[in-house]
Amino acid sequence: MSDDPDENKIKKTLIAEIQSLRVELLQSSRTGMFQTILDNIPLRPAMEDPEGRYVFVTKALAAAIGMREEGFIEKTAVDGYGQERGA
């Protein structure tokens, strides 16, 4: 960051807003409309947070692994697929 206090304040404000929007996006990713759309495409998408934990999986992906979607949330690929496939 620069030495300009006003510029630093603006940057900190923007970073806080971006982080807030990220949280909103993660929360909205679990809403019904988004879930319905992704559950009805012929792919098996999933979303992970920066630490590699699932925040969203489709029913198709969960079914392919033999697990409910809720079973994936907050888990990593290793947790969901096992050490050999998830690593």
Q: What's the whole-model pTM score?
A: 0.47
Q: In total, how many domains does the chain have? A: 2
Same-domain check for residues 41 and 64:
yes
Q: Are residues 19 and 40 in the same domain?
A: no
Residue 55 domain boundaries:
32-87
pLDDT at 83: 67
Positive or negative: CA dihedral 16, 17, 20, 22: negative
Q: What confidence tens digit (pLDDT) does each residue in 9-27 have?
A: 998 898 888 888 877 877 7
pLDDT for res 61: 80
The two three-digit tokens of residue 76, written as one number: 């990593």
pLDDT the model gives residue 84: 65
Quote the CA–CA distance of 80 and 62 in Å, as a whole number. 9
> Using one digit for the tens of pLDDT, what is the confidence trace for 31-78?
777 778 777 877 777 788 888 888 888 888 888 878 787 777 888 777
Residues 26 and 1 in one domain: yes
Judgement on whether residues 25 and 38 belong to the same structural domain of the protein: no
